[in-house]
């Protein structure tokens, strides 16, 4: 008997025990859906994180005061304690003395909740206000859509000019080109719009288009008492030299901060890809939990399938006896019941994969991730269904193949 004949017999048997079979492959489908769905969502969110952090540049690193995150200097992670702010004079000193081939930008976050106004239009108090120099756009991955970047005169004199994120410009002016040279109010202070940033996109973590950037010296003059600690972002010309650049920056920053040789670093140096990796690593716990739930569900489905197959062997005892009486071998009966178990699992698995892709991508897109087709998880799910079918069907199939044909013919 060919594989095609066995599959046809399996489908006939499924139709004959439709309700029990449907319940079984629904259990299997939910198990596969949990696996494929959660893993698909995790892949989508991971892709979103990598995309967002990639815009910051894989050859970038940022120096901040200690206690602010992942440390890649020579002394590892620092203990949680109070550290001195990284002051503007220190940041300027570092920028002047750092000789490694790189572009350096100084910045600080002035406010996470600023309000911008133009005539009767006003934003929600959720705009991130950033103080940055003329290199800030370059190292942060921004492009100009309308207007221009800060000039050296803007940056050096601390003029009251501003660059608007795309969402902010559209909120205040509807069309970005209307924003140029307009005078707007930021936290009740007047600024002239000299440029609008090109759309950069957003995720569930932050919106890169919901920002306003003012010259660093202007931010210090207006908000200096509120935000004194600055960040130094270094974009290395050659990505392969990133580790060497970080080592040189560590040594120079220790000199700038006047640290003794036996004192630990009071600053942190973090790379954008390290932040992404940290967040993805945290999501691994959710993935592991979802995998465990899916496997437990599949185990329940396997037990249910084995039970159905054993009942099927009992109900079809006479049919098995007739098959043996006309010459069917033990291997033929064994293959018939194994194929039936695998077919039921594959039907449930295909349904679970479809539901898993829909659910996983729904969660991923809701959190700002892309739509993906998880071929790895699809193939893994189908393979897992074959394994479940074999494990569940082997005992009933062996029991069916050992049925005595004489006794089977007398079975009612």
Residues 216 and 291 in one domain: no
Residue 147 falls in which region: left (phi positive, over 0), alpha (psi -120 to 50) or beta = left
Please state whether beta strands 144-147 and 189-197 pair in parallel, antiparallel, or not at all (unpaired).
Answer: antiparallel
β-strand partners of 63? 232, 269
Residue 113 belongs to a domain: yes
132-156 pLDDT, tens digit per residue, is 999 999 888 889 999 999 988 888 8
* Residues 108, 130 contacting (CB under 8 angstroms): yes
Q: What is d(CA 319, CA 409) in angstroms, rounded to the nearest whole number?
A: 8
User: 3-state DSSP call for residue 370?
Assistant: coil
Q: Which residues of 391-406 are buried (b: 16+ CB within 10 A; e: fewer)?
A: bbbbebbebbbebeee
Per 3-state DSSP, what percentage of the chain is helix, strand, and coil (rounded to 5)? 55, 15, 25
* Residues 195, 147 contacting (CB under 8 angstroms): yes
Stretch 309-315: mean pLDDT, rounded? 72
Q: Where are the alpha helices (H) located in 257-374, listed in sequence order?
A: 272-315, 317-325, 330-366
Residue 373 belongs to a domain: yes
Tokens 């967002």, located at residue: 52
Q: What is d(CA 298, CA 209) in angstroms, rounded to the nearest whole number?
A: 44
* Residues 213, 182 contacting (CB under 8 angstroms): no
Domain boundary among 187, 209, 237: 237
Residue (of 340, 348, 346, 408) closest to 12 by Cα position: 340
Residues 159 and 45 in one domain: no
pLDDT at 130: 93
Which of 17-26, 154-163, 264-273 has the lowest average pLDDT? Answer: 17-26
Q: Is the pLDDT of residue 125 over 70?
A: yes
Q: What angle do CA 322, 327, 333 make, to 5 degrees?
A: 70
206-244 pLDDT, tens digit per residue, is 678 899 999 999 998 888 755 578 999 998 887 677 888
User: 3-state DSSP call for residue 243?
Assistant: helix
Residues 120 and 215 in one domain: yes
Residues 47 and 120 in one domain: no
* Residues 340, 390 contacting (CB under 8 angstroms): no
279-295 pLDDT, tens digit per residue, is 556 566 767 776 787 77
Q: Where are the alpha helices (H) located in 158-271, listed in sequence order?
A: 166-173, 216-223, 242-256
Residues 300 and 349 in one domain: yes
Residues 334 and 389 in one domain: yes
Domain boundary among 207, 237, 267: 237
* For helices 3-16 and 18-54, angle between their N-to-C axes, nearest 10 degrees: 110
1-20 pLDDT, tens digit per residue, is 566 766 776 667 667 667 77
CB-CB neighbours of 107 under 10 Å: 22
Residues 299 and 361 in one domain: yes
Confidence grade of residue 73 (pLDDT, cut at 50, 70, 90):
very low
* Residues 247, 265 contacting (CB under 8 angstroms): no
Residues 297 and 401 in one domain: yes
Q: What is d(CA 164, CA 213) in angstroms, rounded to the nearest whole number?
A: 7
pLDDT at 90: 92
Residue 388 belongs to a domain: yes
* Residues 71, 77 contacting (CB under 8 angstroms): yes
Sign of CA dihedral 271, 276, 277, 278: positive
Residue 372 belongs to a domain: yes
DSSP-derived secondary structure letter, 263: S
Stretch 344-350: mean pLDDT, rounded? 84
Residues 20 and 120 in one domain: no
Residue 11 belongs to a domain: yes
User: 3-state DSSP call for residue 305?
Assistant: helix
Domain assignment of residue 182, given as a range: 103-237
Which of 104-118, 206-220, 308-322 has the lowest average pLDDT? Answer: 308-322
Residue 349 belongs to a domain: yes
Q: Which residues of 352-376 are buried (b: 16+ CB within 10 A; e: fewer)?
A: bbebbbebbbebbeeebbeebebee
Residue 78 belongs to a domain: no
β-strand partners of 128? 211
Q: What is d(CA 195, CA 150) in angstroms, rounded to the nearest whole number?
A: 8
Domain count, the chain: 2
325-336 pLDDT, tens digit per residue, is 777 777 777 777
Q: Is the pLDDT of residue 204 over 50?
A: no
User: 3-state DSSP call for residue 135?
Assistant: coil
Residue 314 belongs to a domain: yes
Q: Counting Cβ atoms within 10 Å, is residue 20 exposed (0-12), middle (13-18) or buried (19+)?
A: middle
Q: Is the pLDDT of residue 97 over 50?
A: yes
Q: Average pLDDT of the chain?
A: 79
Q: What is d(CA 98, CA 339) in angstroms, rounded to the nearest whole number?
A: 69
Residues 281 and 402 in one domain: yes
Domain boundary among 179, 211, 237: 237
Q: What is d(CA 66, CA 85) in angstroms, rounded to the nearest whole number?
A: 8
């Amino acid at each position: 008997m060919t594989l095609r004949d066995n599959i046809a017999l399996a489908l006939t048997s499924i139709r004959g025990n439709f309700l029990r079979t449907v319940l079984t492959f629904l259990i299997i489908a939910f198990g596969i859906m949990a696996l494929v769905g959660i893993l698909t969502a995790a892949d989508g969110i991971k892709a979103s994180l990598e995309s967002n952090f990639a815009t910051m540049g894989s050859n970038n690193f940022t120096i901040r005061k200690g206690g602010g995150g992942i440390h890649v200097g020579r002394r590892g992670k620092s203990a949680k304690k109070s550290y001195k702010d990284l002051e503007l004079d220190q940041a300027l000193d570092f920028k002047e003395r750092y000789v490694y081939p790189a572009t350096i930008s100084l910045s600080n976050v002035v406010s996470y909740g600023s309000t911008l106004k133009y005539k009767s239009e006003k934003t929600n108090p959720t705009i991130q206000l950033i103080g940055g120099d003329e290199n800030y756009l370059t190292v942060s991955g921004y492009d100009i859509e309308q207007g221009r970047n800060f000039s050296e005169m803007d940056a050096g004199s601390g003029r009251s000019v501003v660059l608007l994120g795309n969402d902010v410009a559209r909120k205040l002016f509807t069309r970005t080109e209307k924003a140029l040279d307009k005078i707007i109010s930021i936290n009740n202070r007047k600024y002239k719009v000299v440029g609008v940033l090109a759309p950069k996109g957003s995720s569930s973590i932050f919106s890169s288009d919901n920002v306003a950037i003012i010259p660093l010296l202007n931010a210090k003059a207006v908000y200096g008492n509120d935000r004194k600690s600055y960040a130094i972002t270094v974009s290395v010309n050659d990505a392969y030299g990133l580790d060497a650049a970080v080592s040189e920056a560590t040594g120079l920053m220790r000199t700038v901060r006047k640290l003794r040789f036996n004192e630990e670093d009071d600053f942190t140096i973090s790379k954008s890809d390290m932040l992404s990796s940290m967040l993805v690593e945290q999501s691994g716990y959710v993935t592991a939990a979802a995998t465990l739930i899916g496997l437990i569900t599949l185990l329940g489905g396997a037990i249910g399938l084995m039970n159905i197959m054993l009942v099927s062997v009992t109900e079809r005892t006479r049919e098995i006896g007739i098959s043996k009486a006309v010459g069917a071998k033990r291997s033929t009966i064994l293959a018939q019941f194994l194929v039936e178990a695998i077919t039921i699992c594959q039907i449930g698995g295909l349904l679970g994969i479809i539901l898993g892709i829909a659910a996983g991508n729904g969660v991923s897109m809701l959190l700002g991730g892309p739509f993906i087709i998880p071929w790895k998880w699809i193939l893994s799910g189908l393979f897992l269904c074959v394994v479940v079918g074999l494990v569940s069907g082997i005992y009933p199939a062996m029991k069916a193949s050992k049925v005595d044909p004489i006794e089977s013919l007398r079975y009612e």
